[in-house]
């Protein structure tokens, strides 16, 4: 006779078990598993519990400000604009540096600055040394921008230097891959319609979200985003989002599906905030999404 049907082990009434637990103090250890305990486990968690509508909104819960950085006061890149949460009561924030693409300026992506910052990040939209800089140069410039941000910038006291990320469009996306491969201590990388002549990124160890456009005729996903994603084998997590009928220039106008995944990826891996895993695994759907692949963060 199995243990589950044995008449020799009568069940203890639930009321008696509860009384025993209360008498011995066991209830205390059972109930201290709420938001306070979770916050203690993750000191980087910022903002209220997310919902689809909150992550898709044009602005998050934080008020933001910005400051311009002249090329005359920096070394290794061309200056740019820093966006940051104005509050000083939530401690420091993770940060991301973002590079524009070939022939482009930061103004082509500047809608992203306040949008990401309003969710609790310091965002550095950089200008490159020249608009013709190649991906390897843009990768070095992204890292130089992060070094400036945490060591010399006017907002350095707001930045957690241990929680940094990179992103970029087109050749800036190729530069994002270069920066992530060069500096494995980065917490996240997000190449947008990335372009690069190197197709294998097997040594890249940073959690990487690649976002491509189905109709991209400049950096076709079949020869850029998809092989880049497939080659990444050393990163603990990776994801590939392909936007339905999107051209190479989809990052240059406000794009909610792209922003939602960027925010969720940064929250999950820069802030270690597992509340955002719900938006990454199983991932987005709907008419705006052509394809989504991931390794599902745990």
By annotation, the residues acting in catalysis are 170, 216, 248
Spatial separation of the C-alpha atoms in residues 175 and 138, rounded to whole Å:
5
d(CA 256, CA 130): 29
Say if residues 132 and 81 touch (Cβ distance below 8 Å): no
3-state secondary structure of 239: strand
Cα-based torsion angle of the residue sequence 189, 193, 195, 196 in order, rounded to the nearest 10 degrees: 40
Strands, DSSP E only, in 100-177? 121-126, 159-169
Structure tokens at 90: 């939530």
- The answer to whether 110 touches 82, Cβ cutoff 8 Å, is no
């Amino acid at each position: 006779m199995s243990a589950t049907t044995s008449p020799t082990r009568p069940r203890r009434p639930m009321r008696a078990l509860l009384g025993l637990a209360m008498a011995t103090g066991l209830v205390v250890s059972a109930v201290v598993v709420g938001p306070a305990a979770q916050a203690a486990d993750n000191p980087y968690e910022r903002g209220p519990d997310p919902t689809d509508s909150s992550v898709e909104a044009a602005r998050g819960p934080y008020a933001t400000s910005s400051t311009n950085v002249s090329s005359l006061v920096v070394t290794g890149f061309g200056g740019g604009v820093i966006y940051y949460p104005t509050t000083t009561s939530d401690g420091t924030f993770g940060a991301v540096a973002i590079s524009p693409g070939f022939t482009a300026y930061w103004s082509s992506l500047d809608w992203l600055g306040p949008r990401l910052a309003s969710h609790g990040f310091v965002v550095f939209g950089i200008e490159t040394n020249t608009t013709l800089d190649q991906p390897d140069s843009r990768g070095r410039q992204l890292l130089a921008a992060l070094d400036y941000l945490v060591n010399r910038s006017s907002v350095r006291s707001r930045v957690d230097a241990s929680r940094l990320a990179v992103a970029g469009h087109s050749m800036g996306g190729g530069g994002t891959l270069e920066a992530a491969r060069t500096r494995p201590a980065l917490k996240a990388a997000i190449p947008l319609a990335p372009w690069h002549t190197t197709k294998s990124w097997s040594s890249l160890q940073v959690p990487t979200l690649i976002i491509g456009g189905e109709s991209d005729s400049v950096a076709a996903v079949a020869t850029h985003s998809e092989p880049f994603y497939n080659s990444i084998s050393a990163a603990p997590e990776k994801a590939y989002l392909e936007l339905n009928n999107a051209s190479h220039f989809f990052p240059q106008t406000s794009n909610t599906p792209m922003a939602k995944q960027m925010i969720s990826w940064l929250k999950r891996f820069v802030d270690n905030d597992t509340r955002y895993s719900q938006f990454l695994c199983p991932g987005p759907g709907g008419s705006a999404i052509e394809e989504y692949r991931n390794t599902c963060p745990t």
